[in-house]
């Protein structure tokens, strides 16, 4: 995978670069991601925490996960695009919304998680590993 991987929000006010090889990729079907993404799921690219370099002004929205951690979702204050997140518990990696990559075709998910909250109109690749809830617990 060619580095850095780049991405931006819809209006271009917030841009980011990923300077290390992602450590995972999967589609999150939880209700919170459904609302934040405005879609059936959030395509999440997990990148080493410090490899994500962000430019531009963004806001964060905090919500509490099922296990009691705080999930901060970063979004553009101008156009509202959900770009990336961070978890209050781990500094190892953070998710990036793969739909905001400049070349989203490089995203190769290998799992579906929070499948228990997926909508009946959602569609999934049957070949990917499925997790009822989160794929890991902090
Ligand atoms: Zn924007
Ligand atoms: Zn989710």
Q: For residue 131, report the distance from its CA to the centre of ligand 1, in Å.
A: 32
Q: What is the pLDDT of residues 18-59, one digit of tens each?
A: 999 999 999 999 999 999 999 999 999 999 999 999 999 999
pLDDT at 137: 56
The residue that leads in pLDDT, 75 or 68, is: 75
112 alpha carbon – ligand 2 mean position (Å): 10
What is the reported pLDDT for 67?
83
Ligand nearest to the CA of 74: 1
Phi and psi, residue 67, nearest 5°: -90, 5
Distance 30 CA to ligand 2 centre (A): 4
Using alpha carbons, select from 49, 66, 63, 64 the residue that is nearest to residue 114. 66
CATH of domain 5-130: 2.170.150.70
In this structure, which long-range contacts are made by residues 113-118, counting pairs with CB atoms below 8 Å and at least 24 apart in sequence?
113/26, 113/27, 113/28, 113/29, 113/30, 114/28, 114/29, 114/30, 114/33, 115/29, 117/29, 117/30, 117/31, 117/34, 118/29, 118/40, 118/41
Rg over CA atoms, the chain: 14
DSSP lists the bridge partners of residue 85 as 73
Domain ranges of the chain: 5-130
- Please give the pLDDT value at position 65: 86
pLDDT in tens, 83-111: 999 998 889 999 999 999 999 999 999 99
Point out the ligand nearest to the CA of residue 32: 2
Q: Please name which ligand lies nearest the alpha carbon of 82.
A: 1
Contact call for residues 114 and 133 (beta carbons, < 8 A): yes
Whether 138 shows a pLDDT value over 60: the answer reads: no
| Residue 78 neighbours by CB under 8 Å, 6+ apart | 9, 11, 13
What is the CA(13)–ligand 2 centre distance, in A?
24
């Amino acid at each position: 995978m060619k580095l850095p991987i780049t991405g931006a929000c819809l209006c271009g006010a917030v841009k980011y670069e990923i300077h290390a090889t992602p450590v995972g990729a999967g589609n999150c079907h939880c209700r919170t991601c459904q609302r934040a993404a405005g879609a059936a799921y959030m395509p999440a690219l997990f990148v080493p925490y410090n490899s994500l370099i962000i430019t531009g002004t963004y806001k964060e929205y905090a919500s509490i996960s099922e296990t009691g951690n705080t999930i901060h979702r970063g979004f553009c204050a101008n156009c509202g695009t959900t770009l990336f997140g961070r978890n209050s518990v781990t500094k190892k990696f953070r998710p990036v919304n793969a739909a905001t990559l400049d070349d989203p075709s490089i995203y190769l998910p290998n799992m579906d998680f929070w499948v228990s909250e997926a909508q009946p109109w959602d569609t999934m690749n049957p070949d990917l590993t499925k997790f009822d809830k989160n794929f890991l617990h902090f």
